[in-house]
Amino acid sequence: MEEVKSEKIFIISIDDDVDFNLLLSNRLKNHGIKIITTSTAIEFADTLKSNPTPDLCIVDLNLTERPGAGLTLIEAMTIKYPQLPIFVMSRRRDGADIIAALEAGALDYLSKPLDVDLLLSKIEHNLKTKVENFVQLPLLKIANFASNCTLFANFKIREINEFGIILDCVNFMAKGAMVKLFGEIISEIFQEESVLLRVHDVTLQRETGRFYSFLEFASEDQRLNQSVRNWLDDQLGSGILQKS
């Protein structure tokens, strides 16, 4: 079991929304956390230099002083303070923003408006510490018969060949996930109401912020593969599709 620290937590944050800074400061101080809020990159840098190294920094990704200032700040901090954890906060929930922040060096990402319980939970988890006056709700085990649930997502089919299918979707699907596909085109291709496929690879299209997911056809499923080949032959023969 990892050791849990009990020292007072020290945080430095940057956000050009004065009202948000006041809210964040008041909420965290209620839990015994020392926090210094700043509003500009210069003020933030000066505060870092003139104080002991904080346990955590919270950075607004969408600083208005100049485009990309939040990401630039994270990259610079990662170089100068490689061991310093950084949380990013933003009103935007674009998958591209989240990935860019994590690639720049952020440890975790939170969306606004401020969810204090979620922030405190992430502080405890990532800093391996105990926050004053905060009790996390316990994890409850769900009985097997009641544990199944369904998540629906809209997607577009970008490409298909005899090995798999590429989906264009705003939602991220993890490699190895099993995805059940429905729709008129799915029924036409597979001669089934739905088909269950495994996510083999995922790439982010940075210009659109959407994800391309390659779902692989199981090679041992001869019926499925034959349905795909028949459909491809029909489309190529009719001139609807062209070989890429």
**Which DSSP string corresponds to 61-73?**
TT-SSSTTHHHHH
Distance CA 112, CA 92 (A): 8
**Which residue has 């083999």 as its token pair?**
200
pLDDT at 235: 85
Question: Whole domain around residue 179: which residue ranges?
Answer: 156-238
Q: What are phi and psi of 131, to 5 degrees?
A: -90, 135
pLDDT of 22-52, one tens digit each?
999 999 999 999 999 999 999 999 999 999 9
**CB-side neighbour CA atoms (13 Å) of 165:** 25
Which one-letter DSSP state was computed for residue 5? B
Say yes or no: 171 and 96 in one domain: no
1: pLDDT confidence band, cut at 50, 70 and 90?
A: very low
Residue 141 domain flag: no
Confidence at residue 163, expressed as pLDDT on a 0 to 100 scale:
92
Q: Is the model's pTM score more than 0.75?
A: no
Q: Does residue 243 belong to any structural domain of this protein?
A: no
6: pLDDT strictly greater than 50: no
Q: Is the pLDDT of residue 97 over 90?
A: no
- Mean pLDDT, the chain, rounded, equals 85
CA 66 from chain centre, in angstroms, equals 24
**Domain assignment of residue 122, yes or no:** yes
Indicate the residue type of 223: R
Nearest to 61 by CA among 84, 90, 100: 90
CATH number of the domain residue 170 falls in:
2.40.10.220
- For the stretch 71-85, pLDDT in tens is 889 999 999 999 999
145 by Cβ neighbours in 10 Å (0-12 / 13-18 / 19+) ranks as: exposed
Q: What is the pLDDT of residue 88?
A: 93
Which residues of 70-218 form beta strands (DSSP E)? 86-90, 108-111, 156-160, 164-169, 178-182, 194-205, 210-216
Residue 150 has pLDDT above 50, yes or no: yes
Q: Do 102 and 164 reside in the same domain of the chain?
A: no
- Separation of first and last alpha carbons in the chain: 53
Tally of structural domains, the chain? 2
Q: Tell me: the pLDDT tens digits for 127-148?
A: 888 888 777 666 677 666 666 7
pLDDT of residue 241: 52
In a domain, 67, yes or no: yes
Give CA–CA dist 120/116, Å, rounded.
6
- CATH number of the domain to which 27 belongs: 3.40.50.2300
